[in-house]
Structure 1
Amino acid sequence: ADRMVNSFIAQQDLSKEFSVVRNELEKGENAPSDVLQERVLSTAYLWHNYGKSTIGSKEDIEQVPISSLRAFYQKYYQPDNAVLLVAGKFDPLKTLALIKQRFGPLAKPSRGLPATYTTEPVQDGERSVTLRRPGDTQGLAVAYHVMAGAHSDYAATDVLVDVLTNQPSGRLYKALVETKKAVNIQGFAPPLHDPGFAYFSAEVRQGRSLDSARTTLLGALEGMGKQPITAAEVTRAKTKLLKDVELLLQKSDALGVTLSEYIATGDWRLLFLYRDHLRQVSVADVQRVALAYFKPSNRTGGTFLPDNTPDRSPLPAAPDATALVKDYQGEATLAAGEAFDASPANIDARTTRSQASNGLKYALLQKQNRGNAVTLELKVR
């Protein structure tokens, strides 16, 4: 409770944490599948924050000022933006009393948190990204935009993901792993607060055809029109997912974490609403979701190509513009020109008209132009 509002974020503490966070970043950077997922999602989400990496870049970590961290802490680490979860065997009355004793005195901040308002536009065509980094295996990834986790269709989407990725009965597993076109496959669709995504990936051995694996992957993901979802597939997936929920409710630690995730989705009770929706999912629901969202115009694809000597184009740091122009003198100042009265009378008074010996008529208007420019206009009839 004390740390929620009274932590003193010191520069020396930040300096100590740099190496810890940097190691976490480098761990992710050394996993091609993680980097490919980040690249695919950042390509799928052009505007919404779901396309932004949580940890940021190495430069972010090394250069973030302590003042920014303090401001973030003071804005978000407040009781009106927190949920306390207690999981396990405990005395509810004593626990509530202790919570009130420790957290009750914390004042509600006067500031209000701004509501998010960015809505990702409907994707207007397939997108793709290629990643070249050191690695041992090739990789493919595909993401589709889907509904928010609180939507009633989310349960059908989760069933669809299991129909595709379950091992060993899933369509992707049979089409890719059993045929040796891929080493492994995975897929998931997290229940997010805003419209989210379904993400699938396949790891392909070097020397195997990446094009063949991609064709098979997309054929399975987007082929439900020709090969509709079956009742047996839906029954098997629902049975597994409902069993997962049942087992989750028996593990207090895992349940606490899952409830915290659903709180971020919108409300902790959404977990149980998801279970209820899951029971009602039909074959038609899964087929409808598959045809509505798993199609090329809603697809973002990713390809990882192992390259131990990738060709890069590092950029020089931006120069100090103030230092560059400190003693700059420039060239001679251009003539400023005059403030000219463009009335007909003044134009006529300033114009000299005459005729050359060959009959050419001309008119000269003398005026001080910027930079002493001279303008000539010739009309021939």
Structure 2
Amino acid sequence: MCGLFGVSSNWLSKAEIDNAALLGYLSYTRGVDSTGLAFVGKKGKKHRAQYLKEPSPSGVFLHEPETERFLGSGTSNNILLGHTRAATIGKVNKENAQPFWIDPIIGTHNGQVGAFNPLKGEEMSDSYYFYECLASSDLKDTLEYAYLDDLCAYALVWYDFRTSTLNMFRNDKRPLFKMSSHNGTTYWASERWMLEVVDRKSLVAYQPIHMLAEDTLYTQKLGEKHWHSEKIAVPKKYRPAAAAKTYPNNPPWQYEVVDTSKNSDLLLSNLEEKRARAEKEQPEKGENNKSLYLEPEAGTKNLFVLPDVTNKQDVEYYIKAYGNKIYTLDEMKDILFRNRDGCIYCGNQISDVTEKVHWASEEDYVCHDCYTSPDFRQMEAITSSSTKYYESKLAVKPAA
């Protein structure tokens, strides 16, 4: 999971750049491994672009003097692209931070494309190789290759110097929202509530926030007000998503997955990698002694992953599905009990680490009682509460 954010305008103002930086702050909930920004502009027939990126969370990156100077110099441009990374494939370093500039494209990606996973010994991420392919081909051909692997999840925002267009595209596995004003200024982000924060603090009237339609290419010519959309026939060659999928059948690592919720494939894939690495480094006697497993769905043989729930794994391991991360018991206790504000809806602390909680962000959770109450049926309630939480944190500058 990564965070995409940014702004496009006929001529970027300081206020618009500040709003995009605010989206960058909020996007730390989507990834803390690296942050990057890129300006794109055009003077006459000549393009200009510059980027800055570091392997650090956005709350640190955006307060760096170099970043402040970079943002302050951007008012003569048309587009600001931003990205926060939660690393899954590839090393955490400056080279794998986004945006990627692979001539003639500069772009950002949220998701995972298994067909572009690096070969053994390579250090770049799948996102890098995806854009490398897109830079030398077109979108349809790139997606045709991407869908040779069923682990294909993406939301994309990129600028193409060949066509002078800003482009956005997503499939059903990753979200992307945008909002536009009548004068052509457009903001985008990976979560709706982030744009709601910008909308509330802005004096400009914006059209309603909406999620981009799946498999639809949105394009905006540089300097123009209007967006154009085109449905792309994506050639999906892998087996249907609803079909049963069996993971390696050497006990105890056998999983049959029918649930195709947005996080299931990625979560199980990450588990396989972590499990194999842990067993290689610390082999244990006895079968399934330290293994991690997903609990079976009641009344079936299927395994399930809820997109925002912590599941207990074995005796001392937990999966926090927000961010697809595995924690030890002590780490989970640290998240749940130490210096936390409790449920973001009722404020009560949970009493037992094994209680089920629903995650609104990397640190914010909602207790199960609130989540299942009639007053808390809509997920917008989580969005509203977490928005207030993040707004209250914006004025806190990280320690040097």
Pair in the same fold by TM > 0.5:
no
Length-normalised TM-score, structure 1: 0.22
Which of the two has higher C-alpha Rg? 1
